[in-house]
Amino acid sequence: MKIGYLDGNRLYYAFLAGGRAVIQDRDHLNRINVFPVPDSDTGTNLASTMRAIAERARAFPSAKHTLDSIADAALIGARGNSGIIFAQFIYGLSQEVRNELRLTTRHFGESVRRAVQYARRSIMAPVEGTMITIIHDWAEAVYEHSLRMKDFAELLSYSLHVAERSLKDTPLKLAVLARAGVVDAGAKGFFDFLEGVAGFIKQGSIKAIVAAETARLSLPPEVHAARSEVTKRYCAEALLVGNRIDVGAVRGLVQRAGESAIVAGSETKIRLHVHTDTPADLFFKAREFGTIQEIKADDMLRQYEAAHGRKHPIAVLTDSACDLPRSVLDEHQIHMVPFSLFFGENLFLDKVTIEPEQFYELLRSTRTRARTAQPSQADVQRVLEFLAGHYESVVAVTISAGLTGFYGQLLKAREALGLDPSRVAVVNSGHLSVSEALVVLRVAEAVREGRPFEDISSSSAEWVRKTRLWVDVRTLKYMVRGGRVSPAKGLLAAVLNIKPIVSLDADGKAVALGKSFSRRGNMKKILGLIREGSAGRKVWNYGLVHAQNPYRALRYADELQAMLGRPPAFVSDVSPVVGVHNGIGVVGIALMFE
């Protein structure tokens, strides 16, 4: 049957079919991902972008209104370098279609050709042999033949073969692809999308699309990727929303932040992407231009290690409330899911797009209430899926389930992905911050020792039981501000100069151990509790954390080293997500017994 026009409904279902084809090829795209960095997540990011379109976009009778909905959904949900380039191309298409109810092949050809420039302009340094090349070659083929081909099925089938030739030529244009023996992953993802669209237009039913119209490109037995290509650590992205945003200034800010810079969208909604070592600096400045939403900052170094440089067959995963120093996380290749942190409407990722120093500066300088939130379920599932695809097994250690729902999120993600507990263990640490860090460190040490997954999984409950926490709180002001303590109790504590000592009970919930009327009294009392609790028991290790109070933390460390006969495993900053409730000046001490 000839297809002489595309209305809103046909466009909508064509996009769903194209997205489904990308999702089906996700694992293949991850495996061949070597450019711009070999972090093995192009498939995951493109699949996430396509899912966002399926979830958010709506069909309308008008082609223009449907494309506007799809473009908005793509821009909000775009993930990764290729996802944002794709989103900007669709945004350009939606702008060029104008107010058409139906698209003829001629109008479609003219619109896709002009839309390419939107995508190209969004990339600060376009590289040929990538997605932008295949988009250009395909769009030119569509435009050139749209006058004589009045049937969309014929036009898309012909242009698909042009896109396939363009895809196969990507290694000729980009040396890193030739060395690895693969085509560009982003370009392949766009080709998959075109296959799905062409198949739907030809068959007229999503269910009828069983196989691709053209032959699948074979995957080489081994993909050669070099760690030296990971020149920046984080793949940082966000949606910036506002009125009359200075797009040029944002482009300059993003370009100065690092490499692979992309700025897509308009004066009211911008999706930015960059590879950078300093995502916190970028987003601290970006909040001046608009409200930061839909933020992501993937650790590309850790992703590369998972795909190409694993030290061990077992992955260790935790959350950002675990206050192990970054050097320890790097040494053990520990993966981390950051919690969300809000200042007003601005969204940050704990420890990644906001550092402790920046967080405490905002805490001091603004009366805006800081709020914390769990990561999205989609992000949790994406991380677990990635690790399960690259490791034999995973041990995930979470913040106390009595304090937040991250433990439940991981259980739900494990079930949704069909992963067996015999391969993926989810451990409720019953702790947070420094005490959670000790549990994670114990698991990581066991992995390094080569202990089997089953042994580590079964032993983790014992390590949790043998961990103790003492928190020296300077003021209840922040607990009052965060709603953890009533204003009346906070006022009474301030008037009487009460300094509480806090710990966690058997259910992992906060409990008061005592109080003093001075900080000196607090330190004396805590050291006495530790001396009493450790009498006759061997300490496996201990650590300390503080919120901008290194002098007090080191005083504790000196006293504890004299008492226990060994230095602490670490002294580190309290994460912002924990500091929201405990405030500036707090010091935490944790021990794990043998």
Query: What SS3 string covers 449-499?
Result: CCCCHHHHHHHHHHHHHCEEEEEECCCCHHHHHCCCCCHHHHHHHHHHCCE
C-alpha closest to that of 541 among 593, 477, 482, 470:
593
The mean per-residue pLDDT over the stretch 312-320 comes to 97
CB 29 within 8 A of CB 43: yes
Q: What is the pLDDT of residue 20?
A: 93
C-alpha closest to that of 223 among 32, 27, 389:
32
Q: What is the pLDDT of residue 228?
A: 55
- pLDDT tens readout for residues 154-174: 999 999 999 999 999 999 999
Report the distance separating Cα 231 and Cα 277, nearest Å.
9
CB-based burial, 106-121: b 16+ in 10 Å, e otherwise: ebbbbbbbbbbebbbe
Same fold, 230-302+343-361 and 467-593: no
> Given this structure, which CATH class describes domain 8-208?
mainly alpha
Phi, psi of 183 (to 5 degrees): -90, 170
Sheet holding 340-343, edge to edge: 346-349, 340-343, 370-373
- pLDDT tens readout for residues 180-221: 899 999 999 999 999 999 989 887 655 544 333 333 444 445
CB 424 within 8 A of CB 414: yes
The mean per-residue pLDDT over the stretch 72-98 comes to 93
Q: What is the pLDDT of residue 74?
A: 94
- pLDDT tens readout for residues 332-362: 999 999 999 998 888 999 999 998 888 888 8
Report the distance separating Cα 201 and Cα 377, nearest Å.
34
375 upstream amide cis, omega within 30 of 0: no
Q: In 309-373, which ranges are continuous DSSP H helix?
A: 326-331, 356-365
Count the residues in the chain.
Answer: 594
CB 586 within 8 A of CB 474: yes
Phi, psi of 337 (to 5 degrees): -100, 120
- pLDDT tens readout for residues 45-59: 899 899 999 999 999
Is 510's pLDDT higher than 90? no
| Contacting residues for 533 by C-beta, under 8 A, at least 6 apart | 468, 591
Architecture of domain 310-339+374-465: 3-Layer(aba) Sandwich (3.40)
- pLDDT tens readout for residues 116-135: 999 999 999 999 999 999 99
Residue located via tokens 């060994």: 566
CB 187 within 8 A of CB 131: yes
Q: 131 exposed, middle or buried (CB, 10 Å; 0-12, 13-18, 19+)?
A: buried
Could you give the 3-state DSSP secondary structure of residue 516?
strand
CB 63 within 8 A of CB 101: yes
Residue located via tokens 């170094």: 301
Fold of 230-302+343-361: Alpha-Beta Plaits (3.30.70)
Report the distance separating Cα 405 and Cα 319, nearest Å.
12
SS (H, E, C) 193-217: HHHHHHHHHHHCCHHHCCCCCCCCC
Is 543's pLDDT higher than 90? yes
Q: How many C-beta atoms lie closer than 10 Å to residue 389's C-beta?
A: 17
Q: What is the pLDDT of residue 491?
A: 39
Dihedral Cα 549, 554, 559, 564, nearest 10 deg: 120
Q: What is 467-593's CATH number? A: 3.30.1180.10
C-alpha closest to that of 57 among 7, 116, 96, 15:
15
Is 441's pLDDT higher than 90? yes
> In the chain, where are the structural domains located?
8-208, 230-302+343-361, 310-339+374-465, 467-593
